[in-house]
Amino acid sequence: MSAVPDLESLRLLVLIGERGSLGKAAAELGIAQPSASKRLSTLERRLGLTLVDRTRRGSALTPAGRVVWGWAQRVLEELDGLLTGAEALRSERDAKLRVGASMTIAEHLVPMWIGELRRSEPELYVGLQVTNSERVGELVRDGAIDVGFVESPTAPAGLSTRRVAADRLLVVVAPAHPWARIRRSLSTAELVTVPLVVRERGSGTRETLERALRRAGAGEVMPLVELGSAAAVRGAVIAGTGPAVMSELAVAADLAEGRLIEVAVAGLDLRRMLRAVWPAGRKLVGPAASLLATATRGR
């Protein structure tokens, strides 16, 4: 396996692609051009690819460089989301904006929204509580958070809501599971006869699955093991514990890279709406309103 590129080298590559010049990229990073050239050469050697064509007119990405540039952008964006989310978790107690989010939304969307909000309001102090959808609703009702984000299939009672995104659940298995080799859709009857790795009761994912099975007249889900986070469920499925029903947000990369296989199920509607929630009869103002506007922008 190739040595892992360092983050500063990835930042350099992204800036070269954006500025069209190694010198300009080096200046923006605050390093000398010879140092930048050496760093780029090290990155190319580690990846075994020529990423940049250097000419008198500037520096241009090669075809391979353009592909790696896109990947590098995503890595850096994910890192920004990680750091933003970690900072929000650290500042939970004394935050000016108190946010609660269900697991899937907290892992895949909230850090991006908070990061965008912080770029326009850099002094804003945000605290984040991560729990299941049922508990987020309780925190809003108790006044413990200013705004919450949930993934339950129905709007929590007694709260104002607004759609922020759409999602769908997928049945997924490890590549070695027998279902991975089936070339047809499963029936709902087949799905409920096999124990599943599931989230705990109160989670939006579990509620969405159970509601969809009831609508399809397929009976109850049969839990193999109950776990408290999407990450734990994902790990269990990859390890071969059993099938699971998970958010597309949580498994997209695993499906693309072959760690998980999607299994089609006929007659089962697993689409769901992701919602912002806040106290009924109250208009969101200040940072909470700004966060909601950020979350719904481009929806």
Banded pLDDT at 194 (limits 50, 70, 90): very high
Q: What angle do CA 127, 133, 139 make, to 5 degrees?
A: 50
> What would the pLDDT profile of 236-260 be if each residue is shown by its tens digit?
999 999 999 999 998 998 999 999 9
Instruction: Pick the range with the lowest mean pLDDT from 99-103, 188-192, 295-299.
Output: 295-299
Q: How far apart are CA 18 and CA 8, in angstroms?
A: 15
Banded pLDDT at 175 (limits 50, 70, 90): very high
Q: What is the 3-state secondary structure (H, E, C) of 226-277?
A: EECCHHHHHHHHHCCCCCEEEEHHHHHHHHHCCCCEEECECCCCCEEEEEEE
Q: How far apart are CA 214 and CA 155, in angstroms?
A: 18
Paired tokens of 199? 């989230």
For the chain, what is the mean pLDDT? Answer: 88
Predicted pLDDT at 80: 80
pLDDT of 298 higher than 70:
no
The mean pLDDT of 64-81, rounded to a whole number, is 84
Predicted pLDDT at 92: 52
Q: What is the DSSP string of 134-200?
A: HHHHHHHHTTS-SEEEE--SSPPTTEEEEEEEEEEEEEEE-TTSGGGG--SPBPHHHHHTS-EEEEP
Name 31's Cβ contacts closer than 8 Å, sequence gap at least 6.
Answer: 39
pLDDT of 99 higher than 90:
yes
Note whether 129 and 145 are within 8 A (CB).
yes
Banded pLDDT at 1 (limits 50, 70, 90): very low
Predicted pLDDT at 2: 57
pLDDT of 202 higher than 90:
no
Domains of the chain: 7-72 (1.10.10.10), 75-165+274-296 (3.40.190.10), 168-272 (3.40.190.290)
Q: Look at residues 152, 159, 156, 148 and name the one whose alpha carbon lies nearest to residue 292.
A: 148
Note whether 126 and 91 are within 8 A (CB).
yes
pTM score, two decimals? 0.66
Note whether 281 and 160 are within 8 A (CB).
yes
Q: How far apart are CA 27 and CA 30, in angstroms?
A: 5
Q: How many CA atoms lie within 13 A of 54 on its CB side?
A: 9
pLDDT of 295 higher than 90:
yes
Predicted pLDDT at 156: 82
Predicted pLDDT at 209: 93
Give CA torsion, residues 25, 28, 31, 35, to 10 deg. -10
Q: Which of 16-20, 92-96, 239-243 has the highest mean pLDDT?
A: 239-243
Predicted pLDDT at 95: 52
Instruction: Pick the range with the lowest mean pLDDT from 95-99, 115-119, 273-277.
Output: 95-99
Residue whose structure tokens are 């776990």:
227
Q: How far apart are CA 13 and CA 24, in angstroms?
A: 12
Instruction: Pick the range with the lowest mean pLDDT from 75-84, 209-218, 283-292.
Output: 75-84
Greater pLDDT, 228 or 178: 178
